[in-house]
Structure 1
């Protein structure tokens, strides 16, 4: 009798999810760098380089480079947001040891651990795209000034506002996910207080005859 296939391990699923997260963030950074490079090169040089950029070899190299850039921008964003992250964590965990102990406890609960991994996945994407939004706005502004376009001031203002709004939106999302994650982790790993059992009053001793 053929045994049913075993479900994919959670470690493999988590590794795949992290690869996708890093790639999504890295593609955003690579796009911003591409726009910035095109703006610096100018219209004539960009037209000459366009056929090379469209080859399968260049596409494969860009995908690999995007993953490497995703790791870089994720670490940069995490470092930049570290003071805010530590402040949010101390609101739910007084010490780093208490937080580490809570993480250890949650890893022993598969359902809750999967939910925590999903929250961290969204968190990584949001924090990476805070920096990506800023870079894309600046690169787009520079490209609009270098290339001949109509209504340039309006387009530059629009790109700047949209980039700022995107960065603010990703930051607020990261802040909310981080704070909520710490609160949930503390609530899920803190044992409920023991209920006090009311003591029965002692019966008075019988009087001696």
Structure 2
């Protein structure tokens, strides 16, 4: 079950990134060339290749997002666990409680999607803005402002969601696995 969930998470993140790359490619190619490429992109072979490529891109984006957010993640973890060893022990203890492990897996699934879509939102916004500049559209300034504001709000929203899920996850892990004589520290807000 966990492997299937991770496959879906990576695919969801990868599809967002592939969509952004498609918009970026169309913006770079321009209106005339994009119309000519549409026939090639609508074949079953292209769809299958796109799905496989989206999965691979999802892995890449997940790793990049994790690397970008590592300093923040480590700071959040240190608020609930004084050492990496304490954190590792808590993870092992959690694995011995199946009901809690399932909930923790679900939380990790949500945070992986949030951190990946934080980057996807940024690229989608940039690609959409470039496409709006490149294609003849009415109300270009309004569309550019709208796309930029919505894209920025989405990226910030995904970051804040990731931050909250991560901080809460560490706090819950500490509370659920620390022996009763040691109180766990409370999480701090972003």
Instruction: Give the alignment's TM-score, normalised by structure 2.
Output: 0.95
1:87 aligns with 2:66: no
1:78 aligns with 2:86: no
Compute the displacement of 1:191 (Å). Answer: 1.1
Structure 2 stretches of 5 or more lacking a match? Answer: 183-190
Counterpart residue number, 2:156: 168
**What do residues 108-157 of structure 1 show as CA deviations (whole Å, max 9, x unaligned)?**
11100000000000000000000000100000000000000001011011
Paired with 2:94 and 2:69, the residues of 1 have a C-alpha distance of 24
Alignment partner for residue 110 of structure 2, among 122, 130, 142? Answer: 122
Alignment partner for residue 35 of structure 2, among 42, 47, 63? Answer: 47
Structure 1 stretches of 5 or more lacking a match? Answer: 1-12, 195-209
Output the aligned Cα RMSD.
0.8
1:155 aligns with 2:153: no
Q: Equivalent residues in 2 for 1:1-209 (5 A)? A: 13-193=1-181
Paired with 2:173 and 2:8, the residues of 1 have a C-alpha distance of 25
Instruction: Give the alignment's TM-score, normalised by structure 1.
Output: 0.86
Compute the displacement of 1:192 (Å). Answer: 0.7
Structure index of larger Rg = 1
Query: What's the secondary structure of 2:80's corresponding residue?
Result: coil
**What do residues 35-63 of structure 1 show as CA deviations (whole Å, max 9, x unaligned)?**
00000000011000000000000000000
Paired with 2:176 and 2:85, the residues of 1 have a C-alpha distance of 16
**What do residues 66-101 of structure 1 show as CA deviations (whole Å, max 9, x unaligned)?**
000000000000000000000000000000011011
Query: What's the secondary structure of 1:127's corresponding residue?
Result: helix
Runs of 4+ in 1 over 4 A off after TM superposition: none
Compute the displacement of 1:193 (Å). Answer: 1.7
Query: What's the secondary structure of 2:130's corresponding residue?
Result: helix
Paired with 1:171 and 1:49, the residues of 2 have a C-alpha distance of 35
Answer 1 or 2: which has greater helix percent.
Answer: 2
